[in-house]
């Protein structure tokens, strides 16, 4: 079974199928107003991921046997935002390098670097040492200073909003730090 997250479109398709109860591919085709091949592709993709299961057969037009499906009780996994993955990793590790966070959170190095630098600017993270450029594992180490809670701080160049403590900060005039 594939454990990838569902897209918003697939979630909508799954909701329609759940509304139908037991259904055939032709029911999906009529309900969503799509072609037969598109309906087959939708049902097959959701079946491979384990969200839809085959429950039997029914007779269609011209005495043709049609497979009957229903939505399983498997919960829908919503994909986390990349910054939430990074924040969760920082909260677990406490002390880290950017490549460690990149690997653990499964996001790009550029995104990790940008977010960690913003967190440094707003006082959530501090650089512990500079590392040794050019050497194996010579990356700078960082430490999380402010673990305010499970939701990631929304940081930007001019503002910082932390939903965990309900705080919104803005850059003061003439200041280069948050």
Quick check: 1 pLDDT over 50? no
pLDDT for position 22: 92
Tell me the two tokens of residue 4.
């990838």
Determine the distance from the C-alpha atom of residue 28 to the mean position of all C-alpha atoms in its chain, rounded to a whole number. Answer: 27
CB contact at 8 A, 162 and 153: yes
**H or E stretch at 32:** helix 25-32
Residues in the chain: 178
Query: 146 - beta bridge partners?
Result: none
Quick check: 47 pLDDT over 60? yes
Most confident by average pLDDT, 55-69, 71-85, 149-163: 149-163
The CATH code of the domain that includes 42 is 1.10.10.10
- Please give the tally of structural domains in the chain: 2
Residues 93 and 164 in one domain: yes
Residues 108 and 160 in one domain: yes
Q: For the chain, how are helix, strand and coil distributed in percent, rounded to 5?
A: 40, 20, 40
pLDDT for position 74: 65
| CB-count burial class (<10 Å; 0-12, 13-18, 19+) for 108 | exposed
């Amino acid at each position: 079974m594939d454990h990838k997250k569902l897209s918003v479109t697939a979630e909508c398709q799954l909701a329609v199928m759940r509304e139908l109860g037991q259904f055939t591919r032709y029911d999906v085709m009529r309900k969503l107003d799509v072609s037969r091949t598109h309906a087959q592709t939708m049902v097959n993709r959701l079946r491979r991921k384990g969200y839809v299961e085959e429950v039997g057969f029914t007779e269609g037009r011209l005495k043709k046997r049609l497979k009957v499906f229903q939505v399983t009780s498997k919960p829908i996994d919503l994909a986390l935002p990349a910054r939430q993955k990074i924040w969760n990793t920082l909260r677990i590790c406490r002390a880290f390098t950017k490549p460690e966070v990149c690997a653990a959170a499964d996001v790009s190095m550029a995104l990790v670097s940008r977010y960690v630098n913003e967190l440094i600017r707003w006082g959530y993270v501090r650089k512990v040492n500079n590392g040794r450029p050019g050497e194996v594992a010579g990356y700078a180490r960082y430490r999380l200073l402010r673990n305010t809670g499970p939701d990631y701080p929304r940081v930007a160049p001019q503002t910082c909003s932390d939903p965990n403590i309900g705080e919104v900060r803005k850059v003061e005039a003439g200041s280069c730090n948050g």
